[in-house]
Structure 1
Amino acid sequence: MSVRVGVLGATGAVGQRLIQLIDPHPEFELAAMTASESSAGKTYREAAKWRVDAPIPDGVAEMEVGATTPDDVPDDVDLIFSSLPSGVGAEVEPDFCRAGYVVSSNSSNGRMDEDVPLVVPEVNADHVDLLEVQRDGRGWDGALLKNPNCSTITMVPPLAALDGAFDLTDVRVSTLQAVSGAGYDGVTSMEIIDNAIPHIGGEEQKMESESRKLLGSFDGAEVELHGMDVAASCNRIATLDGHLENVWADTEEEVTVEAAEDAMAEVTGIDLPSSPEQLIKVFEEPDRPQPRLDRNVEDGMGVGVGGFRETTDGVQFNCLAHNTMRGAAGASVLNGELLNQRGYL
């Protein structure tokens, strides 16, 4: 039986990716979509300035867009995907949860709340059970699950592999992030062409805190943050999709390049429709991964790594992921699959 789903913020960049992924999904059936008041009442074709590199799905184009309130979403919708701006999400998502909806959200608000699970299913699927604590504490029938920031998602699976084998102590990361991460209107061509912007507001803090929560331990009542120290420097560059990151990881146990590569190559996907068979692809070429060539590894749901070298206290490597697929829409869909598998819908 199909799970009926809705999308909040369906006309934006991540919302469009969600529509693209949900339409052919084996478990999900799109039943509702919402956007701003100016779009409410229009067909999706009229409301969305479609920019995905594939046609609007036939069954979606003529659906009516609703306003972003629980009253505009049918009661029989089982799961809500949210791609709202964080300020809007902070106001609206709790309303949907109080109304009984389960929300898988890509929005940044609430990710570090103590009772909100922040999940990458291949890394910390057990954290989803924090929803029991959330429901007890907040007294609502719905639930709120978050996926992390797109730049955090890129480095956390490789870090999880290193931590499991060698115990991470310190992480330093410098990012080269694609313009699509800022949304269609986030960076103008005059800003980014022939340029790089060494600042993305709030991005460093997200990477530094979210990675510690994702790699933390859950005891059934709370998540204890990982004890590693994380420092990030985030930069916007003139690539369209794909966040490339340079990572320096120090470990408690001695690690060689070969051992680090082996640990990452052994990371497989899990039994969910959107999880790739091989989560991390290790490139032997010294100049890979590259955004244009490698962002679509495993249909955009994998992470590429390469450029390994030993350092005094660990290893340095490069990693890459498709920021609107693995880093955003695909991550939310994967979390929705986890919610369905674990019986939270």
Structure 2
Amino acid sequence: MERRKVGILGATGMVGQRFIQLLSNHPWFEIAWLAASDRSAGKTYGDACRWKLDTPLPKHIAAMTMQPNVPEGTVGELPKIIFAALDADIARELEPKFAAVGCAVISNSSAFRMTPDVPLVVPEVNADHLALIEAQASRRENGGKGGYIVTNPNCSAIGLVMALKPLEERFGIESLFVSTMQAVSGAGYPGVPSLDIMGNVVPFIKNEEEKMQEEVGKLLGRLDGRKIEMLDAKVSAHCNRVPVEDGHTECVSIKLRKKATREEILAAWNEFLPLQGQHLPTAPSQPVEYDDGVDRPQPRLDKMRGNGMAATVGRLRECSLLDWKFVVLSHNTIRGAAGAAVLNAEVLALLGKLDKLDVAVTPAVAVMA
């Protein structure tokens, strides 16, 4: 597949840095455009960004000039594909502007996740929901060649629904209780002050419980024409911040609509291979991995399974209140953020939804000093 030029909006933040890390050597995509806040425009990326990841900042990326964070004013051609890593309030303003000029906006923001015509997608779970982009006004008003917005879920919801999807398919879900232990990297940089989190647990993350409860319903819901019928199940979430660098751990109790044995549940996870044979560069070969260790999964040991894109499940046992309980772990800034958006873009490419975009922006001319 010919490499497509892509842009990253919000490129200097932690999720933006993950995008750069994951896309720098991607076989299908080539980083050609970077933007962040107004104060970054005109600087090199190396000057605008405090690189915090454990791999070196690529030299050619460090030398790139940061562009304005709006479609107009870009020096050179605006890429048709924009990966967005923005705070919700900023995303609510900027993402529709890029969709309106014809870009495919692959967003990590929460701003439009629950908008009825915006797909909220984990490809292994509900790739068919991508059909919703055809209902978006920015898409329809340009003869089916216009831009659109696609979102990935909250970092704590992604690992959870990957573990739930094979159970929902085989047995149905009646009710669900989940308590999270979420890594500090989920709060961005500088995130939670060290004196607040070291040796501590903070039992509150703003809007997190509401996001989990709503998003699970949409992710596991059914596409009916141009709307999503939400999953008919009760979901209760407790969300906690813990002193772990990367990796969200979640303790889950579940009541199934159809009784299932331990062996049947393990088979559902082991046989869950929805993207097999599609050869997507970022997709894990086994999306849900079960570890039968008595003390697994653990963030330090298991967060990078499937190159950080798999969900690891363990400790399956009977629950005295519901039916079954287990623990699920996923990498929150790879599978839960940038990697999820990259995988969404790969599926869109496979479906041909990145081919016929008509970007209507006249590029600005660079002025030599």
Mapped to 1, the partners of 2:311 and 2:168 lie a distance apart of: 17
Mapped to 2, the partners of 1:138 and 1:92 lie a distance apart of: 20
Partner of 1:97: 99
Q: Paired residue for 1:139, among 141, 148, 153?
A: 141
Show the 5 A alignment for 1:211-250.
Answer: 211-250=216-255
Show the 5 A alignment for 1:42-57.
Answer: 42-57=43-58
Q: TM-score, normalised by structure 1?
A: 0.97
Runs of at least 5 residues in structure 1 that lack an aligned partner in the other structure: none
- Runs of 4+ deviating beyond 3 Å: 72-76, 135-140
Mapped to 1, the partners of 2:73 and 2:224 lie a distance apart of: 38
Partner of 1:158: 163
Mapped to 1, the partners of 2:29 and 2:187 lie a distance apart of: 27
Partner of 1:296: 304
Residue 72 of structure 1: CA displacement?
A: 4.0
Q: Paired residue for 1:281, among 275, 278, 289?
A: 289
Q: Is the 8 A contact 1:255 1:315 kept in 2?
A: no
Residue 136 of structure 1: CA displacement?
A: 7.1
Q: Is the 8 A contact 1:171 1:229 kept in 2?
A: yes
Say whether residues 1:9 and 2:16 are aligned partners. Answer: no
Residue 269 of structure 1: CA displacement?
A: 5.4
Mapped to 1, the partners of 2:128 and 2:59 lie a distance apart of: 37
Between 176-185 and 249-258, the greater mean CA deviation after superposition: 249-258
Mapped to 1, the partners of 2:31 and 2:314 lie a distance apart of: 38
Q: Which has the larger radius of gyration?
A: 2
Residue 160 of structure 1: CA displacement?
A: 0.5
Partner of 2:313: 305
Between 103-112 and 266-275, the greater mean CA deviation after superposition: 266-275
Letter in 2 for 1:33: L
Q: TM-score, normalised by structure 2?
A: 0.91
Partner of 2:360: none
**Matched position secondary structure for 1:56:** coil
- The percent of aligned pairs where both chains have the same amino acid is 46
Partner of 1:316: 325
Partner of 1:85: 87
Residue 342 of structure 1: CA displacement?
A: 1.1
Mapped to 2, the partners of 1:220 and 1:235 lie a distance apart of: 37
Say whether residues 1:335 and 2:336 are aligned partners. Answer: no
Mapped to 2, the partners of 1:15 and 1:278 lie a distance apart of: 26
RMSD: 1.3
Residue 338 of structure 1: CA displacement?
A: 1.2
Q: Deviations over 1:87-127 (max 9, x none)?
A: 00000000111111110000110100000000000110000
Q: Paired residue for 2:258, among 242, 253, 261?
A: 253
Letter in 2 for 1:44: Y
Q: Is the 8 A contact 2:121 2:130 kept in 1?
A: yes
**Matched position secondary structure for 1:33:** strand
Q: Is the 8 A contact 1:269 1:275 kept in 2?
A: no
